[in-house]
Amino acid sequence: MRKIVISLIVLATMFGFFLLAIGYSPYEASDQEGTITILVVDASGETIIEDTHAFSEEDTLFSILSSAYEIDYRSMIVPYFEDGRMRQTSSRAILAIGTVETDFERQFLKIYLHEPVYEDDQVIDYRVTVSRVGVDHLPLRDAYKYEFRVERVIGGGS
């Protein structure tokens, strides 16, 4: 139990320093409405969930996940830098979506953003990047795919 608490404190601290380095949220505001695709990939690389969801300006990524799937998450306090001052906010780490579960000590769900690339108003490809913020700070963008992939914690577990 002590290892888990220490691991969570170290991860929250590292996440806080990361937020300081990037100036908290590098993303724009959410679109007012649209559709997104949720992808959930297990540890073997198999896509377990690939669903499309409509959203409106009241929705968040967390609200869509929690209403469409059985999820498990942990809340934490995360420091960030804004207007020259250190502040804190609460954030949630998603531990499980449906049957895909992690323990946050040996494995976690890393978020990948699939940004559509257009040609003549048609999606021809996706530019995939790792999210630099957590589920509570990601805007909903029309035609994006939000992938939650099980990743190993380097040096995690025993």
For residue 38, what pLDDT is reported?
98
φ and ψ of 63, to 5 deg? -65, -35
Strands, sheet with 122-130, edge to edge from the N-terminal-most edge strand = 47-56, 33-41, 145-152, 107-119, 122-130
For residue 133, what pLDDT is reported?
80
Domains of the chain in sequence order:
2-152 (2.170.130.30)
DSSP element (H, E) containing 16: helix 2-22
For residue 5, what pLDDT is reported?
56
For residue 2, what pLDDT is reported?
64
Block means of pLDDT (10 residues each) for the chain, length 158 residues?
63 55 57 96 97 96 97 85 80 94 92 96 95 88 97 74
Nearest CA to 132 out of 147, 111, 158 is that of: 111
Question: Which residue has 């949630």 as its token pair?
Answer: 92
Distance CA 148, CA 69 (A): 13
Distance CA 14, CA 52 (A): 32
For residue 1, what pLDDT is reported?
63
**Structural contact between residues 71 and 94, judged by C-beta atoms closer than 8 angstroms:** yes
Nearest CA to 78 out of 67, 89, 62, 69 is that of: 89
